[in-house]
Amino acid sequence: MRVPVLVDLPAQEPLIESATAAAEGRPPRIPVEEATVPSSVELDTTFPAVPVGTGDQNQFSLEPMGPAVSEHFVVRGFLELEEDEPIPFELDGRPVNADPPIAPFLTCGGSPPLGTAADVSRNLNGSVLAQRGLDGSGVAVAIVDTGINLAHLRTALGGVPPIDPANSWMAPGRSTAAFAHPVGHGTMCAYDALIMAPKATLIDFPVLRGSAPGGALTGSTLSVAVQAYAQLIAFWSVAFAPGGAPRYRSLVVSNSWGIYHPSWDFNAGHPGRYVDNPNHPFQVLVSVLTRGGADVVFAAGNCGAECASTKCQNRTTGTIMGANASSDVLTLAGCDVNDDRVGYSSQGPSISGMFQEKPDLSSYTHFSGSAAMGTGSPDSGTSAACPVAAGCVAAIRSKVSTQTLPPANLRQQLLAMARKVNGATTWNGDYGHGIIDPDATAQSLNV
């Protein structure tokens, strides 16, 4: 049995050079395979080392994450184990972490769209926000997904959106240029983010594989997202380097993917498991990026009781897992344009061990919009709700800087100003704190 793993290693020159080269977009002068690695690990030499600072979640700035100062690095490798052999907790004293599959949150049903993107904008007072200059200007929105197809996006939007190919990213071992990916899930997410933030600049961060033979969407593994977030941290660190002039006022990161079932991960009780472990290396990267000033938005998932995806394996409780259940991110459930919860939207509380009151908010989905998933197909799933909300955040960030209002504070303000549903006055597992209301939030912030 060949098991992919992420291994935590102490700083050493080959790892520092590998991570530095990846951040700078050049080949390393010292190959990562020259690092000292536990002998039982078959190192993935295509995977650059990732700096994780002190290696735990309690880091409150980006500085310890720099390759030259990071105390810990993560590498990817493989273990050869017998079928019933347990995965070790450590190798040569170094922690072993899971590298589970991840997948886009596609929906289960074939129901037609309800309403349009224009209805979504109307429900969220998009035109009112635009009149006040809350349109995403000066804000970068990273779509962490299957990749964006610019030609389709142009047609769907009826114009050319602002894009930033130079700061987009290509996963190791892949060759498709930014904004030239097959039309699909990532293009849908990009379109949906622009509904509320039409002047935001898109950055393409493909972590999921696009169309597989036969047209099916496939996933990837978490290690690709680890690489992507390392690059986002490097990008955002440069943007806020001392004395530097940041090109963007803010960075918003949209993630419409996750894990459908705990069986994709290490067994319960393993300290390197991902789904319920706040100190997994990916969780550390997400937390550090948010504390460094980026707003990170995740989809809740599509394991709702009424219409769960088959990938949920009939599990409909505790299905918001991993980074999707982090207290540092904004997690979105889905509702339709009539404010009714969609049956596939994952319900809280989240998996035990993570922040329990997830989802945070609800946002709109299952409407006619990008047509990226096929003519007549809705932009659906919490996959659509997530970028719609990311666009709302980007709109507010047009006038509210992260220095003035850090991501944690904006998240709390969004929760406080959410539109309550069905008489609810407190958090509930269906809608979270209510439906996102960017206009009320912006007014509460005097913009």
What average pLDDT does this structure show over 437-446? Answer: 98
Is 351 found in the same domain as 265? Answer: yes
Last residue of a domain, one of 98, 127, 162: 98
pLDDT at 267 (0 to 100): 96
pLDDT at 238 (0 to 100): 81
Q: What is the pLDDT of residues 305-339, one digit of tens each?
A: 999 999 999 999 999 999 999 999 999 999 999 99
What average pLDDT does this structure show over 288-295? Answer: 95
For residue 373, pLDDT over 50 is answered with yes
Closest CA to 369 of 193, 198, 188: 188
Distance (Å, whole) CA 191 – CA 156: 8
What average pLDDT does this structure show over 122-132? Answer: 98
Mean pLDDT of the chain: 93
Closest CA to 333 of 372, 295, 303: 303
User: How many structural domains compose the chain?
Assistant: 2
Decide which of 14 and 106 is more confident. 14
Is 184 found in the same domain as 86? Answer: no
What average pLDDT does this structure show over 114-134? Answer: 98
DSSP string, 171-214: -TT--PPTTBSPSSHHHHHHHHHTTT-TTPEEEEEE-S--BPTT
For residue 211, pLDDT over 50 is answered with no
For residue 246, pLDDT over 90 is answered with no
The catalytically annotated residue of 121, 368, 383, 398 is 383
Nearest-10 Cα torsion for 101, 103, 107, 109: -50
- For residue 129, give the amino acid letter: L
Is 81 found in the same domain as 183? Answer: no
Is 237 found in the same domain as 384? Answer: yes
Is 129 found in the same domain as 76? Answer: no
Domain CATH number, residue 117? 3.40.50.200
Is 163 found in the same domain as 265? Answer: yes
Active site residue 383: yes
Is 338 found in the same domain as 271? Answer: yes
The catalytically annotated residue of 185, 261, 366, 433 is 185
Distance (Å, whole) CA 278 – CA 420: 30
Is 62 found in the same domain as 120? Answer: no
- 119: helix, coil or strand? helix
- 81: helix, coil or strand? coil
Is 388 found in the same domain as 273? Answer: yes
Is 144 found in the same domain as 43? Answer: no
The catalytically annotated residue of 145, 192, 204, 439 is 145
Active site residue 164: no
Nearest-10 Cα torsion for 137, 142, 146, 150: 30
pLDDT at 243 (0 to 100): 55
Tokens of 116: 């349009």
Distance (Å, whole) CA 231 – CA 62: 12
Q: Could you list the residue range(s) of the whole structural domain that residue 51 is in?
A: 2-98
Last residue of a domain, one of 81, 98, 115: 98
pTM of the prediction?
0.96
Active site residue 72: no
Is 206 found in the same domain as 58? Answer: no
What average pLDDT does this structure show over 417-424? Answer: 94
Is 433 found in the same domain as 307? Answer: yes
| Residue 419 neighbours by CB distance under 10 Å | 17
Confidence label for 108 from pLDDT (cuts 50, 70 and 90): low
